[in-house]
Amino acid sequence: MVMSNWQIIRGQIKYIDLLIEVCDARAPYSSRHPKAKEIFGSKPILLLLNKSDLADKKYLDNELEQLNKLPNQKAIALSLKSKQHKQTILKIIEDLTKVKREASKRKGLSTTTIRICVVGMPNVGKSSLINWLIGHKRAKVGNKPGITKGPQWIKIDKGLELLDTPGVLPRENLDNKTRTKLAILNLLKAAPDETETLANESLTFLKIYYPLAIKQYLDISEDENINLETLAQKRGFLSPGGKYNLNRAAHTLLLDLNDGKLGGVFLDRV
């Protein structure tokens, strides 16, 4: 039987010294696994709030402050679009694994290998992170037998090894509100007939929390015109019968929102 990446990681967790959990900076709570603590036990966690280029910085900073109050956990915002701060990440990894390195030293070992694995919900940026951390070495690994023959540990820096397999956290037991946020952020694939509902949910949220951004995007001044009809009208999205094509407007809004065209957002405000 071919094991899923997540099953491979579960089997390796006892060897792992540090978990890098990637979540989405636009909804850091909703994009984490509800049972993360239960799954990871007491392992140190580096929480990367990725896609920060699309997030509302004001709320993100506040969230980071809260997340960094927890022991054995460090949270930072990141954008893998800009590919900066690699040294900062390596330094945090060093700090979070100090206990293990000091224990090895006491045992008289001259070197310690710190083993790290990357986990997170679908589409948060795990593969982008692994590629960035591994850099050019990944290509070499590709020539070796595939992960189905066993986990591959790859050196990313002196004394640091990364399990070259992202663990996709299973999405189960999510409440409706969380599912809606994840679907809006494209972290969860919604059914095609849900597009308009999701776009309308987004509009309701934007109207309350980002009124200026949504009015600017729709090029309007009145609150009551914040709807899909307005977008269809402004863009000239018409169906063959001459009616406004609301489905096309819904798709466009969701794409633009995820493209940062409405500015930075933070969905975990509600």
Ligand X SMILES: Nc1nc2c(ncn2[C@@H]2O[C@H](COP(=O)(O)OP(=O)(O)OP(=O)(O)O)[C@@H](O)[C@H]2O)c(=O)[nH]1
- Shortest distance (Å) from residue 126 CB to Mg ion: 5
- Shortest distance (Å) from residue 54 CB to ligand X: 5
- Shortest distance (Å) from residue 268 CB to ligand X: 17
> Residues near 75 by Cβ (< 8 Å), separated by ≥ 6?
28, 46, 47, 48, 49, 63, 64, 67, 68
Residue with tokens 């940026």: 125
By a kind-dependent CB cut-off of 5 to 8 A, residue 168 interacts, out of Mg ion, ligand X, none, with: ligand X
- d(Cα 181, Cα 117) in Å, to the nearest integer? 26
- Shorter beta-carbon distance to ligand X: residue 51 or 215: 51
- Shorter beta-carbon distance to ligand X: residue 128 or 225: 128
- Shorter beta-carbon distance to ligand X: residue 122 or 263: 122
- Shorter beta-carbon distance to Mg ion: residue 127 or 225: 127
- Are residues 21 and 46 in contact, defined by beta-carbon separation less than 8 angstroms? yes
Helical (H) or strand (E) element with 32: none
> Residues near 43 by Cβ (< 8 Å), separated by ≥ 6?
13, 16, 17, 18, 19, 72
Residue with tokens 């089997």: 11
Of 2, 72, 1, nearest to 43 (Cα)? 72
What is the pattern of x (binds Mg ion, CB under 5 A) and - over residues 127-166?
x---------------------------------------
| Chain center to CA of 11 | 23
- Shorter beta-carbon distance to Mg ion: residue 127 or 197: 127
By a kind-dependent CB cut-off of 5 to 8 A, residue 54 interacts, out of Mg ion, ligand X, none, with: ligand X
258 part of the interface to Mg ion, by CB under 5 A? no
Which residues, listed in sequence order, are joined to residue 160 by a DSSP beta bridge?
114, 157
- Given the rule CB under 6 A, which residues bind ligand X? 50-51, 53-54, 79-81, 120, 122-128, 166, 168
By a kind-dependent CB cut-off of 5 to 8 A, residue 112 interacts, out of ligand X, Mg ion, none, with: none
By a kind-dependent CB cut-off of 5 to 8 A, residue 225 interacts, out of ligand X, Mg ion, none, with: none
- Shortest distance (Å) from residue 82 CB to ligand X: 7
Q: Is the dihedral of CA 25, 29, 30, 36 positive or negative?
A: positive
Residues 211-240 that bind Mg ion (CB under 5 A): none
Residues that bind Mg ion (CB under 5 A): 127
